[in-house]
């Protein structure tokens, strides 16, 4: 009888062990089943954060776009802008007040920019202060991205798409503050003119439109 009771106890113990083992497997399965849900929740949070960051970036881009405006009067490959200057010239030297309302152009290679004192421009042969009208002529204040190194700004202008006529001008590096060249542009006839600009081994170009007279299109 004792032997029979021992065998029964052993069988009962084995069954209890199997039940405990099965319970452990079920607990582990439940834990591991929760991991994908947590992972999906984390991914959703990351996606929401990414979308929020994207909106923020877009808003920042819109603010930058709003800070620069394109205005009428450009020609060829060059547009006329107003507002914030290029990033490489954030605070143009020589201005006591903001130049945000002054139109400007930027070279095709982003190496030069020029503020236009007269816009739109007209063909004028008179230099600054020599026209008898007290105006600024076709004054352009050029800013160069690379140092002048004491070298002049050489300007060669011709009608866009044509080789002649040619207007040539050399502006000395004797103005300041900053890397600037003030020039007075004179061309013999209206139209879209290409200006090839070079200084201290650097080059860029802009297209500028000249009207026959104010109010013409």
- Res. 205: pLDDT tops 90: yes
pLDDT digits (tens, 9 = 90+) for 36-57: 444 444 444 444 444 444 444 4
Cα(211)–Cα(192) distance, rounded to whole angstroms?
9
- Chain segment 114-157, per-residue pLDDT in tens: 999 989 899 875 544 444 444 457 899 999 999 999 999 999 99
Output the pTM of the full model.
0.66
CB of 155 closer than 8 Å to CB of 171: yes
Write out pLDDT tens, residues 91-101.
999 887 767 78
3-state secondary structure 95-150: CCCCCCCCCEEECCCCCEEEEECCCCECCCCCCCCCCCCCCCCCEEEEEECCCCCC
């Amino acid at each position: 009888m004792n032997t029979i009771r021992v065998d029964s106890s052993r069988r009962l113990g084995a069954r209890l062990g199997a039940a405990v083992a099965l319970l452990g497997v079920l607990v582990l399965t439940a834990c591991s089943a929760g991991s994908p849900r947590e992972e999906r929740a984390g991914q959703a949070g990351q996606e929401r954060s990414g979308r929020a960051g994207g909106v923020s970036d877009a808003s920042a881009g819109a603010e930058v776009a709003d800070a620069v405006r394109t205005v009428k009067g450009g020609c060829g490959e060059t547009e006329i802008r107003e507002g914030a200057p290029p990033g490489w010239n954030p605070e143009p030297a020589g201005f006591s007040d903001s130049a945000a309302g002054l139109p400007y152009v930027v070279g095709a290679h982003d190496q030069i920019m020029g503020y236009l004192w007269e816009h739109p421009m007209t063909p004028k042969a008179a230099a600054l202060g020599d026209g008898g009208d007290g105006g600024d002529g076709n004054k352009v204040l050029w800013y160069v991205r690379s140092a002048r190194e004491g070298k002049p700004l050489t300007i060669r202008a011709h009608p866009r798409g044509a080789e002649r006529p040619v207007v040539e001008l050399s502006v000395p590096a004797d103005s300041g503050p900053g890397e600037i060249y003030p020039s007075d542009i004179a061309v013999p006839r209206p139209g879209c003119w290409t200006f090839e600009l070079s200084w201290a081994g650097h080059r860029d170009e802009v297209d500028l439109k000249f009207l026959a007279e104010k109010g013409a299109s």
